[in-house]
Amino acid sequence: MASDDVKKDEGREAAVKAAEEAAERAKKAAAAAHDADNAAADAGREAEYDADHASAKAVQEAATRAGDEAGKAHDAAKAAKAAADEAAKLAREADEADDDAAVREASGKAKEAADRAEAAAEQAKAACSVAAEAASEAGRAKIASDDERGYGEEHVGEESLPKERRPALYLAEFDTPDACMKAAERVRDAGYRDWDVHTPYPVHGMEHAMGLKGTQLGWVAMAAGMVGLATAVFMITFMNASEWEILGFRGYPLVVGGKPPGAFPSMVPIMFELSILLTGFGTLFGLFHFARLPRHHHPVFESERFAAASDDKFFISIETVDPKFDLDGTRELLESLAPTHLELVEEEA
């Protein structure tokens, strides 16, 4: 009996192990498919851009092909992801199943799912390379058509064409600072980089909810203040207590009230005032530098609802330039944060 048990266990262990391996394989395949999908999507966008900016038929056709292939790659990647999920689930089932038969069955199914995932990944890769090919073809065709029409980057009569728009950012709206802060923590944990929280007044702790580092403004202000202090000492010493000649200007040692020309106590008020003055300027321009102000144009202003950010609403924006940005994935994330309103803001391409 004991030996049977051991044998049974060994068999079971092998099956579970096989299932786990299959799940791992499926996961890798899904990741590859995901990469291929991203690359295909990029190629698709590139081709679409070319098509939008050139009217030649060859460009349009190539672009359409690239778009189609990108769609295929996306479907394949989805299939790969589904298969991988299934494989993982089956592997878990195999691990938890009570009787050997079930274990073996689950393990077999997991293997099958892994195979499917790998096949889908292959498909995605193939679609991706076709899409890339089509995109570069579209690019070449565009250059050719541009050359033919005698212009490069400048587009004659572009203003007569309708302005094309492309997604710039997602804008999620919240009614309360609490909801916005909790949502910001989730976005921070998801690892986004080019995103922001917009509030009508400074919400305390939001910078930590966003995972921002503290400001270095104080150092700038202090450095500027020290420059002011040194300027005052130098200026007074040069003008009232020296005979130095600097750039053709001459200092003059001035004796007033029987005090020595460089009497320190009488320098103090102006040393102080100039330190304050330059600290003020340092802080102002430091603020402009760190906050990247003035900046009068930003895609976020394209949203009609955004005006409420300076009134009574709280917003989270995630920009498309973020490396983790994904039209569907990011939307899913933001939807899961239960905003009162969510929109995709577009800017002029």
Partner 1 sequence: MSADVDVIKELGERPIYPEDTSLRHVTESVSRVTENPAPRGWWMLFIPSLALTGGLFASIAYLVTFGIGSWGNNHPVGWAWDITNFVWWIGIGHAGTLISAILYLFRQKWRTSINRFAEAMTIFAVMQAGLFPALHTGRPWFDYYLFPIPNQMGIWPNFKSPLMWDVFAVSTYMTISIIFWYVGLIPDLATIRDRSKSRIRKAAYGFFALGWRGSTRHWLHYERAYLIFAAISTPLVLSVHSVVSFDFATSVIPGWHTTIFPPYFVAGAVFSGFALVMTLMLIARQVFSMQDLVSIKHLELMNKFMLATSLMVGYAYAMEFFVAWYSGNEYEQWVFLHNRLGLRDGEGNIGPYWWAYFAMVFCNVVVPQTFWSKRLRTSIPWMFVATILINIGMWFERFVIIVTSIHRDYLPSAWGMYWPTAIDIMLYVGTFGFFMTLFLLFIRWLPMIAIAEVKAALPHAQPHHDDTAHGAAHAPIAAE
- How far, in Å, CA of 276 to CA of 222, rounded? 10
Q: Nearer Cβ to partner 1, position 55 or 310?
A: 310
Q: Footprint of partner 1 on residues 47-76 (CB under 8 A)?
A: none
- How far, in Å, CA of 218 to CA of 160, rounded? 50
- How far, in Å, CA of 94 to CA of 16, rounded? 6
- Interface residue with partner 1, options 102, 210, 226, 342 (CB under 8 A): 210
- How far, in Å, CA of 97 to CA of 4, rounded? 19
- How far, in Å, CA of 107 to CA of 92, rounded? 9
- Interface residue with partner 1, options 291, 321, 327, 349 (CB under 8 A): 291
Size of the site for partner 1 (CB under 8 A): 74
Would you count residue 199 as binding partner 1 (CB under 8 A)? yes
- Interface residue with partner 1, options 161, 276, 338, 349 (CB under 8 A): 276
Q: Footprint of partner 1 on residues 86-125 (CB under 8 A)?
A: none
- Interface residue with partner 1, options 37, 137, 173, 196 (CB under 8 A): 196
- Interface residue with partner 1, options 208, 336, 338, 348 (CB under 8 A): 208
- Interface residue with partner 1, options 126, 223, 281, 347 (CB under 8 A): 281
Residue type, 248: G
- Interface residue with partner 1, options 76, 87, 103, 221 (CB under 8 A): 221
Helices (H) and strands (E) in the chain, counts: 8, 6
Would you count residue 309 as binding partner 1 (CB under 8 A)? yes
In SS3 terms, 247-271 reads as: CCEECCCCCCCCCCCCCCHHHHHHH
Of 330, 314, 228, 337, nearest to 272 by C-alpha is: 228
Q: Footprint of partner 1 on residues 157-176 (CB under 8 A)?
A: 176
Q: Footprint of partner 1 on residues 312-341 (CB under 8 A)?
A: 312
Would you count residue 15 as binding partner 1 (CB under 8 A)? no
